[in-house]
Amino acid sequence: MKSFANVNARDAKDAVAKLGQPNAVAVGGGSDLLGMVKEHLVEPDVLVHLKSIRKLDQVSAKAGEVQIGGLITLDTLSREPAIRSRYTVLAEAAESVGTPQIRNAGTLAGNVCQRPWCWYYRNGFPCFKAGGKQCFSITGENQFHAIFGGGPSFIVHPSDTAPALVALDAKFRVTNSDGERTIPAAEFFALPRVDAARENVLAQDEILTAVDLPAARPHTRSTYHKVLDREAWTHAVVSAAIVLEMDQQVCKSARIVLGGVAPIPWRLPKVEAMLAGKPITPELAAQAAEAALEGANPLAKNAYKVPLTKAVVRRTLLSLATKA
Amino acid sequence: MNTTVVGKNLRKVDGFKLVTGGAAFTDDVLLPGMLYGKILPSPYAHARIKRIDTSKAKALPGVHAVLTYKDVPRVPHTTAGQAWPEPSPYDTYLLDSKVRFVGDRVAAVAAESRALAEQALRLIDVDYEVLPAVLDMEAAMDAGAPVIHDEPDSTKIFDREHNIAAHIRREIGNVDDGFREADFIFEREYRTQRQQHCMLEPHVTICWLDGDGRLMIRTSTQVPYHCRRQVAMILQIPVSRVRVIKPRIGGGFGGKQEMLLEDICSALALATRRPVKIEYTREEEFYMARSRHPQILRMKMGVKRDGTVVASHLQVLATTGAYGSHASTVQGNTGSKVLPLYRAPHLRFECDVVYTNTPVAGAFRGYGCPQGFFAQESLADEIAYKLGMDPVEFHRKNAIRLGDVDKLSAQLGEGKEGLPRVIRSCGLPECVKRGAAAIDWDRKRQSLPARAGFVKHGVGMSCTMQGSGIAGIDWAASFLKMNEDGSFFLQVGASDVGAGADTVLAQIAAETLGVSLGKIIVTSGDTDFTPFDTGAYASSTTIISGGAVKKAAEKVRAQVLGVAAKMLAVPVENLACAKDEVFTTTKPRKSVSMAEVALQALYQEKLQIMDGASHYNTDSPPPFCATFAEVAVDTQTGRVRVVHLATAVDPGVAINPMQAEGQVEGAVTQGLGFALSEELMLNHTGWPMNPNFLDYKIFSAKDMPKLTTILVETEEPLGPYGAKSVSEVPINGVAPAIANAIFHAVGVRIRKLPIRPEDMLRALYEQQPELKPEEALVTQ
Ligand SMILES: Cc1cc2nc3c(=O)[nH]c(=O)nc-3n(C[C@H](O)[C@H](O)[C@H](O)COP(=O)(O)OP(=O)(O)OC[C@H]3O[C@@H](n4cnc5c(N)ncnc54)[C@H](O)[C@@H]3O)c2cc1C
């Protein structure tokens, strides 16, 4: 591990200023970043600590909207009553992350901004994510890689909270040297064909400071379903974040976002449209699941994700729609 | 049996130290001036070092030594921690000009900090001539495949031109005749994966020179004596100049039946004249240490219409990775400990163990049996199903029983002819009975698969065995001496690796001497201060080292009684000892305390009560095990959850039942990972893809099923107080019991491990919804 200096940010502006130094990197809980430093995947000279910024770890409500500080830990977030009851999908997503240790250290912003866990990248292969010019998974061990939106890199976005935030139509507040900008969650994440080295639109000296959730509409229910190959301590094999606005048995509107299948949280607008205005019957759920996987483009070793994801969409839709 | 210490759930003698964080483990000491050693791993699966320039690394301040093959003696050896002469090929070098897998040693450095050592590694300039590599064991023997061991000085390689490290072919009866007698013949292929031990404590070694210039090796090992012999040979120094100290060990599971870091760490200590520590990181542990041999097994069985097995033929192709450590012996066990489970008169075992440019395989709990039993017990279930038999009935009919003689073992010894195995104790029928009851077999076999919904439940079972020590090879010595207060020092070469040997051996000594457990102070595994022991492997410690302790204790007891006889003025025959005193067995009752005897001996008779003994067995009594699993298969996600795992084991007499149960639970946990989730994956260039606990999936606490552990005790005439062994056998049957339960649940046979969700889904899509007709049932 290369040595580095640690500095504590006083506030968001100060953090951005400090990130302006050469080779400075922002750190929240460090649960992702420190591992990467140890592996020489990033070699910063300065770590700018964001946890020292006061009040950025809280949930506040105003006019029905909820604002979540980016530095809230995943554990706190998952226990927050307002989130549990009205934005269940987010609480469940936060709760599904890794292990209790990771949830105690890891922050929401760090979760959203974590780097891919593709084993080529993490093992030091000079791939797109490491500044190289190829994706090793295409012809290699791609069982955990993308079936949608891949190319030139085939990573899957690893964050559990990201699909939930996109499903909730959250807005990301970003601080930079000019002040603040707000980006809809869906536009925050960027496909590799936009920039194969990155997963989102943040510039090097920008930080994610908070997340705004729109007021929860009445009769809205939501859930996060994560398929794991171990009961804990693992990223999603695939996952589904679903938000349904119901009118009795009828689905007024739906938002469905998949995790573990694409380099970004993968929203399914076509399927959402299919569901709007209809009661969610087993038949409709099955049709939705079929439609969800249209256009999937599996690699040599991840074709199993297609039936798996279908099952997840169908099952999660049905159980959420019929939930008392 | 009427015992007061043996058979009791007494606390581990080292438990207090362990839970209070006392200086227990190898890494718990910090020696003045200690340097940190680090090994440069090969980035290529197969390459020759054309040029290696260490000058920049050496010039880095704080770096004290950089060693390459040019700086060390070239002595072919095996790293397998086995009794001399080791049956494994001598194909390994301290450092070599050729590297044979990603992770092979290229160079080693010693520096003042870990960071400096890492930095120094990056400053070593190497020019490789990259050679074609062979990673696939099925291609290793092909004409034109790269020859991995083309060096002339390696010895004991079966056929180096074809990368065959070892070849085995053994037969009893005549298998071809046997198949002719059979009404049905079944043949299937099974595949098992590269599993890693994942012991809590990685390999770690600290070496230094003492005041006399002797080489001290404090190391996390299961085999201190083999280690001493091998390091002395490799570094060409006399054995008398080497001391190996085995502190507390944080688990070995066979991975430390290996001389792994001790040679290179010693070389660095000798080069720098300073203490040097090398500790593998978790990542290094995954691919630079050892793993379980991947195997492809072709199992063929001939049965009569009534289910009687007449002949079995097992053909195995295994890879040992780049070096042949344990190549012939692990695979030999795949035959010798598996096939004789059934009483068929005709058995044949054939095996090729090939080199590939992959991480090295070695000893691992079960030692070849988990692979073999996965094949055999899966096939047995398939046969029983085809014949319309309950698998329990199939085992009742065919399994080895009391009084049987297993002749295959006689042919498959440790690298040479072995000894026939006579079954003198056998709790297997009882294990099957109680295991079945625990899982509610009869009811669940009938009712479970009918359940509606996409999660299907099923139950499956398997029967397995192991050995207890290597017959005629494993041996141990122990020494006891008495102290003034009636306590005893017990010195054993045996290596407690966390399994509780020190406690068990102390219990045996205490029982024999008639004292309480607290009166036995154990020193173990130090080549300067404890007598010889072949080491902690092959399920040998309780039976072999325990046998040596019992013998020594009997001799010492005779001395105690001799002194007491004089003190009490009664004949020795009329004396016994128990509860820390010696007493008359005849009226009137008279007694002296052990402390009084000790004082008398030491200060009046000028006699140190002490003695030692050596022990070995000419047979290896098998412990038996029946494993019953209930699984829930999610047919949509492919996730297999084990709901309940019941393991009934016959360990002989359990010297410490609580510890024995702990061993069973630990073994089945590793068995669960082997069955469902663990595999060290390599990419097409031989790189390990998942050398970390996030991607390499051992079971987490949340994944654990309900465990039922049943000890079915029998009395083994060859074991101390009737004990056999317990630590290995329960791992063997987990995978087949689960695979069989999966078949019961969803009608899908999976013959390749591990059964991950994606594998289960694939199998479901291939074999469902309609069960394919089974082509393998050949009626003659
Ligand atoms: C064993 C293990 C298991 C895990 N399992 C899961 C899992 O199941 N699901 C999952 O989603 N994740 C998982 N993770 C990944 C991740 O570490 C955590 O989810 C965590 O939330 C990351 O947050 P952090 O605050 O620790 O991030 P850090 O490590 O501090 O930062 C992560 C990245 O984000 C950047 N960053 C941090 N904060 C900001 C900010 N405010 N603005 C801009 N950039 C920022 C950092 O520069 C860094 O590149 C796992 C990690 C480990 C080690």
Contact residues, chain B, for A302 at CB < 8 Å? 758
Domain assignment of residue A315, yes or no = yes
- Of A172, A193, A213, the last residue of a domain is A213
Q: Is B43 on the interface with A (CB under 8 A)?
A: no
Least Cα distance to B313 among B458, B170, B477, B159 occurs for B170
Q: Which of B115, B689, B765 sits opposite A1 (nearest CB)?
A: B115
When pLDDT is cut at 50, 70 and 90, the band that residue B452 belongs to is low
Instruction: Note the pLDDT tens digit of each residue in B520-545.
Output: 999 999 999 999 999 999 999 999 99
Residue B747's contacts (CB-CB under 8 Å, 6 or more residues apart) are B449, B767, B768, B771
Q: Per the structure, how many domains does chain A have?
A: 3
pLDDT at position B451:
62
**Residue A208 beta carbon below 6 angstroms from any ligand 1 atom:** yes
3-class SS letters over B98-129: EECCCCCEEEEEEECCHHHHHHHHHCCEEEEE
Judge: A229–B681 Cβ closer than 8 Å, yes or no: no
Same domain, A85 and A183: yes
Same domain, A173 and A280: no
When pLDDT is cut at 50, 70 and 90, the band that residue B775 belongs to is very low
pLDDT at position B414:
64
Phi, psi (deg, nearest 5) at residue B99: -115, 145
Domain assignment of residue A311, yes or no = yes
pLDDT at position B191:
98
Cα within 13 Å of Cα(B57), Cβ side:
28
Q: Which long-range contacts (CB under 8 A, 24 or more apart) does B757-760 make?
A: B757/A227, B757/A229, B757/A237, B757/A304, B757/A308, B757/B637, B757/B638, B757/B639, B757/B640, B758/A143, B758/A237, B758/A302, B758/A304, B758/A308, B758/B638, B759/B638, B760/B633, B760/B638, B760/B639, B760/B640
Nearest-angstrom CA–CA distance, B667 and A319: 38
**Residue A53 beta carbon below 6 angstroms from any ligand 1 atom:** no
A residues 81-120 near B, CB within 8 Å? Answer: 117, 119-120
Same domain, A232 and A309: yes
Cβ–Cβ under 8 Å, residues B425 and B402? yes
Judged by DSSP in three states, A246 sits in: strand
Contact residues, chain A, for B118 at CB < 8 Å? 1
Domain assignment of residue A89, yes or no = yes
**Is B372's pLDDT higher than 60?**
yes
**Residue A78 beta carbon below 6 angstroms from any ligand 1 atom:** no
**Residue A33 beta carbon below 6 angstroms from any ligand 1 atom:** yes
Domain assignment of residue A125, yes or no = no
pLDDT at position A211:
98
When pLDDT is cut at 50, 70 and 90, the band that residue B777 belongs to is very low
Instruction: Note the pLDDT tens digit of each residue in B216-242.
Output: 999 999 999 999 999 999 999 999 999
Judge: A119–B695 Cβ closer than 8 Å, yes or no: yes
Same domain, A71 and A196: yes
Distance A103 CA to ligand 1 centre (A): 10
pLDDT at position B527:
98
**Residue A239 beta carbon below 6 angstroms from any ligand 1 atom:** no
For B121-214, where are the E strands, in sequence order?
Answer: 125-130, 164-172, 184-192, 204-209
User: Can you read off the two tokens belonging to residue A243?
Assistant: 């938000």
Domain assignment of residue A173, yes or no = yes
Least Cα distance to B757 among A159, A137, A304 occurs for A304
**Is B412's pLDDT higher than 90?**
no
Cis peptide before B754 (omega within 30 of 0): yes
**Is B776's pLDDT higher than 60?**
no
**Is A324's pLDDT higher than 80?**
no
Residue in chain B closest to A136 (alpha carbons) equals B683
Paired with B277 in beta bridges are B36, B206
Q: Is B359 on the interface with A (CB under 8 A)?
A: no
pLDDT at position A158:
98
Ligand 1: which of A19, A27, A32, A227 to mutate, most ligand atoms within 8 Å of CB?
A: A32
Same domain, A180 and A276: no
**Residue A158 beta carbon below 6 angstroms from any ligand 1 atom:** yes
pLDDT at position B765:
84
Q: Which residue has the tokens 């891949």?
A: A150
Nearest-angstrom CA–CA distance, B467 and A30: 48
Q: Which domains does chain B have, with CATH numbers?
A: 15-22+475-616 (3.30.365.10), 31-131+200-251+256-288 (3.90.1170.50), 295-470+619-779 (3.30.365.10)
Same domain, A204 and A235: no
Helix axes of B546-568 and B501-513: crossing angle, nearest 10 degrees? 30
**Residue A107 beta carbon below 6 angstroms from any ligand 1 atom:** yes
Q: What is the ipTM of this complex?
A: 0.95
Nearest-angstrom CA–CA distance, A158 and B362: 35
**Residue A225's domain is classified under what CATH number?**
3.30.390.50
Nearest-angstrom CA–CA distance, A91 and B120: 46
The sign of the CA dihedral B239, B242, B246, B251 is negative
pLDDT at position A204:
87
**Is B492's pLDDT higher than 70?**
yes
Q: Which atom of ligand 1 is nearest to the CA of A235?
A: 8
Q: How far is B667 from chain A (nearest CA, A)?
A: 19
Segment A180-208 mean pLDDT: 96
pLDDT at position A64:
87
Number of neighbouring beta carbons within 10 Å of residue B15: 12
Segment A175-202 mean pLDDT: 97
B residues 678-717 near A, CB within 8 Å? Answer: 681, 683-684, 687-691, 693-695, 697, 699-703
Contact residues, chain A, for B761 at CB < 8 Å? 304, 307-308
Residue in chain A closest to B682 (alpha carbons) equals A141
Same domain, A178 and A305: no
Domain assignment of residue A124, yes or no = no
**Is B264's pLDDT higher than 70?**
yes
User: pLDDT over 90 for what percent of chain A?
Assistant: 95
**Is B420's pLDDT higher than 90?**
no
When pLDDT is cut at 50, 70 and 90, the band that residue A205 belongs to is confident
**Is A201's pLDDT higher than 60?**
yes
Interface test with A, best of B283, B758, B765 (most A CBs within 10 A): B758
Residue-by-residue DSSP string for B450-476: G--SSEEEEEEEEEEE--SS-TTT-EE
**Residue A151 beta carbon below 6 angstroms from any ligand 1 atom:** no
Full strand arrangement of the beta sheet holding B520-524: B520-524, B488-492, B475-482, B610-616
Domain assignment of residue A150, yes or no = no
User: pLDDT over 90 for what percent of chain B?
Assistant: 93
pLDDT at position B595:
98
Least Cα distance to B732 among B469, B464, B538, B470 occurs for B464
Phi, psi (deg, nearest 5) at residue B240: -65, -15
Paired with B349 in beta bridges are B170, B314
**Residue A12's domain is classified under what CATH number?**
3.30.43.10
Segment B667-675 mean pLDDT: 98
Q: Which of A230, A304, A312 sits opposite B758 (nearest CB)?
A: A304
Judged by DSSP in three states, A290 sits in: helix
User: Can you read off the two tokens belonging to residue B74?
Assistant: 């070239």
Judge: B639–A227 Cβ closer than 8 Å, yes or no: yes
User: pLDDT over 70 for what percent of chain B?
Assistant: 97
Domain assignment of residue A54, yes or no = no
Q: How many residues does chain A have?
A: 324
Cβ–Cβ under 8 Å, residues B623 and B612? no
- Of A197, A213, A229, the last residue of a domain is A213
Same domain, A65 and A25: no
Q: Which of B677, B681, B703 sits opposite A141 (nearest CB)?
A: B681
Same domain, A91 and A207: yes
Tell me the whole-structure pTM to 2 decimals.
0.96
Instruction: Note the pLDDT tens digit of each residue in B319-350.
Output: 999 999 999 999 999 999 999 999 999 999 99
**Is B770's pLDDT higher than 50?**
no
A residues 238-297 near B, CB within 8 Å? Answer: none
Q: Is B638 on the interface with A (CB under 8 A)?
A: yes
**Residue A274 beta carbon below 6 angstroms from any ligand 1 atom:** no
Judge: B757–A237 Cβ closer than 8 Å, yes or no: yes
Residues spanned by the domain of A209: 59-114+155-213
**Is B772's pLDDT higher than 60?**
no
Interface test with A, best of B636, B677, B682 (most A CBs within 10 A): B636
Distance A73 CA to ligand 1 centre (A): 10
How do strand A238-247 and strand A250-259 relate by DSSP bridges? antiparallel
Q: Is A121 on the interface with B (CB under 8 A)?
A: no
pLDDT at position B124:
98
When pLDDT is cut at 50, 70 and 90, the band that residue B780 belongs to is very low
When pLDDT is cut at 50, 70 and 90, the band that residue B416 belongs to is low
Distance B639 CA to ligand 1 centre (A): 27
**Is A165's pLDDT higher than 60?**
yes
Same domain, A65 and A204: yes
Phi, psi (deg, nearest 5) at residue B502: -55, -40
Instruction: Note the pLDDT tens digit of each residue in B544-601.
Output: 999 999 999 999 999 999 999 999 999 999 999 999 999 999 999 999 999 999 999 9
A residues 125-184 near B, CB within 8 Å? Answer: 125, 136, 139-141, 143
Helix, strand, coil percent values for chain B (each to nearest 5): 30, 25, 40
Judge: A308–B694 Cβ closer than 8 Å, yes or no: no
Q: How far is A234 from chain B (nearest CA, A)?
A: 6
Instruction: Note the pLDDT tens digit of each residue in B143-168.
Output: 999 999 999 999 999 999 999 999 99
Segment B731-739 mean pLDDT: 98
Distance A140 CA to ligand 1 centre (A): 26
- Of A168, A189, A213, the last residue of a domain is A213
pLDDT at position B410:
81
pLDDT at position A33:
98
Segment B389-404 mean pLDDT: 97
Residue in chain A closest to B766 (alpha carbons) equals A304
Same domain, A200 and A236: no
**Residue A25 beta carbon below 6 angstroms from any ligand 1 atom:** yes
**Is B778's pLDDT higher than 70?**
no
Same domain, A226 and A312: yes
pLDDT at position B415:
60
